[in-house]
Amino acid sequence: MHILVTGHTGFKGAWLSLILASRGHDVSGIALDPLPGGLFERADIASLLRDDIRLDIRDRAGLEYAVGATGADLVMHLAAQPLVRESYSDPRTTFETNVDGTLNVLEAIAATPATKAAVIVTTDKVYRNIGQRAGYVETDALGGDDPYSASKAMADILTHSWMTSFPGAPTAIARAGNVIGGGDVSKDRLLVDLVAGFEAATPVSIRYPDAVRPWQHVLDCLSGYLTLADALLAGAGTGAWNFGPDPDSFQTVRQIADAGAELWGDGARWVDESGGHLHEAALLTLDSSKAKRELGWHNTLPFPGGLEWTIEWERAVRGGADARDVTLAQIERFTERAGDASWTRRF
């Protein structure tokens, strides 16, 4: 199968591309240049790809040509401006990338007859956050206060409208929680900051220690996306789907920082620097009952498992191990631990 991943140079896109390529698929990617030192670069994922296309998804004509030229059977759209704080400093690029870019992707797919299905990835932050402790379900109202959340909610609504209004390749929306794992280098990510500080033996500043997030290892997240893609290719699965961890993995930033410091050892520590920061939601939770019930998907690495695997990856690679080998080993361990092959039926 030929699969096109937008945003393949990013953290989740790089993991996804490696999973797919390691299973014998032709993988093409459309994205901006990778961040230095991230998984895409460290694991030399470019060498595994059929097409490695550098393109801004805001380029409507260029994107339509590129998607059509790949002629992919399946499109998995992960490209985005994914950072809350960045959305405050550059709201226009955030809205243009996440909203107009998603529309461009949908139009390009519609103009590519070879494409049989599409998964459009948004986020758990699409929900109108009212501070409820019960996880948000797919039918809850969408919204967003910060520019990032608002832009992703708009992209989600746009995708729903597109699916409802225009016939074409079966399409679904995937919403996931706060994803962690080895090889992430994006700024303003908790684990990225923690690992960098721990390695440098400097205390890590934490902005929102009491914020609660649905922490999830990248492999659990991607197993959800692939399970959904599998359903689409089998003639089911359209609509919106949550892929978040079980409630035991809803942890505060403080709990993650404490557990991460303990796992790292060597005197790793962090400091509370809360107060006076830009608005970010204090509580985010997801309910993934629908995906469990209708797709047979489940989490394999609940807290603290995903955190342990993240620290293990960073320790190994920073200690000189080959990044691709370490990543592939974790992928295979995850597949074995998952206990069934439903998420890899076609992948």
Can you tell me the mean pLDDT for 36-50? 98
Contact 126, 144 (CB under 8 A): yes
Question: Taking a C-beta distance cutoff of 8 angstroms, is the pair 73, 1 a contact?
Answer: yes
Output the pLDDT for position 287: 94
The string of pLDDT tens digits covering residues 59-79 is 999 999 999 999 999 999 999
Tell me which DSSP letter residue 2 carries.
Answer: E
| Residue ranges in 170-215 assigned as alpha helix (H) | 190-200
Of 24-28, 237-241, 336-340, give the lowest mean pLDDT range: 336-340
HSE-up of residue 186 (Cα within 13 Å, Cβ side): 22
Range list of H helices, 57-206: 60-70, 84-89, 91-95, 101-110, 147-165, 190-200
* pLDDT for res 62: 98
Domains and CATH numbers, the chain: 2-344 (3.40.50.720)
Looking at residue 281, its pLDDT comes to 60
Q: Which residue has the tokens 């989490």?
A: 299
The model's pTM: 0.95
State phi, psi for 180 to the nearest 5 degrees: -125, 165
List, for residues 15-31, the tens digit of each pLDDT value: 999 999 999 999 999 99
Range in 110-114, 162-166, 249-253, 322-326 the model is least confident about: 249-253
Q: What's the mean pLDDT when you consider all of the chain?
A: 93
Rounded Cα distance between 239 and 160, Å, is 7
Where residue 340 falls among pLDDT bands split at 50, 70, 90?
A: low
